[in-house]
Amino acid sequence: MAGPRWVVTLLAIGALAACGDDGVTSRDAEPADHSSPTLGASAPAASEPPREPMDQLERPVAERLAPRLEDEGLSLEYVECPGWPGAVPAELECKGYVDGVVGEVEVELTEGEHGRVEFDARLDHGVLATSRLVERLEDEGYTDVDCGPTPAYPSLEGIRIVCRVDEDGDPTHVVAEVTDEVGAVRIEDY
């Protein structure tokens, strides 16, 4: 008898349709969000360098430090040092304005030949170069790494930077969380 089978089939279809959320049909449902997370982190607050020209110490420090930072994908905009009385040896903690982020620049002044003052400068902490994060992820075996367009972030504990990576040929995302002011990061799955 064909009649009872049709009734059972219609009852089964009706029961499945009644299982929806509060009467929302698939036609009314919001589409699932399949978009990728935003790469990088919130853009850091821009730090404007001072308007006055760099002094006789700051200029050469910036000239020597800038090419080193360019090799790391960073742009040094300005170096601001405290007053230096001219005595050597001396160590100064200066501010380096790097891609809108302020970091610490350590300057070591020594006496060279014939009383000449020599110095070395390095960006110590305060700035996390996105290019260095990309290099680390590549060293860990990820490919096609993209951590967004922001070149640098302040090295503040807790900042989370999202990166798109390929892992064994499959696209996925990871999060790099800054764990200290030196710029150490912990890598986790997104």
Written as tens digits, the pLDDT of the chain (190 aa) is 444 433 333 333 333 333 444 443 334 444 444 568 999 999 888 789 999 999 999 999 999 999 999 988 899 999 999 999 889 999 999 999 999 899 999 999 999 999 899 999 999 888 999 999 999 999 999 999 999 999 999 999 999 999 999 998 899 999 999 998 888 899 999 8
CB 65 within 8 A of CB 122: yes
Q: Given 3-state DSSP classes, what are the helix, strand and coil percentages for the chain, each rounded to the nearest 5?
A: 25, 35, 45
Q: How far apart are CA 184 and CA 174, in angstroms?
A: 16
What pLDDT sits at residue 34?
A: 54
List 172's β-bridge partners, or say none: 165
Q: How far apart are CA 73 and CA 152, in angstroms?
A: 9
Per-residue burial over 123-140, b if 16 or more Cβ lie within 10 Å, else e, is bbbbbbbbebbbeebeee
CB 106 within 8 A of CB 131: no
Half-sphere exposure of 20 (CA within 13 A, CB side): 12
What pLDDT sits at residue 72?
A: 85
pTM above 0.75, yes or no: no
CA angle 12, 17, 20 (to 5 degrees): 135
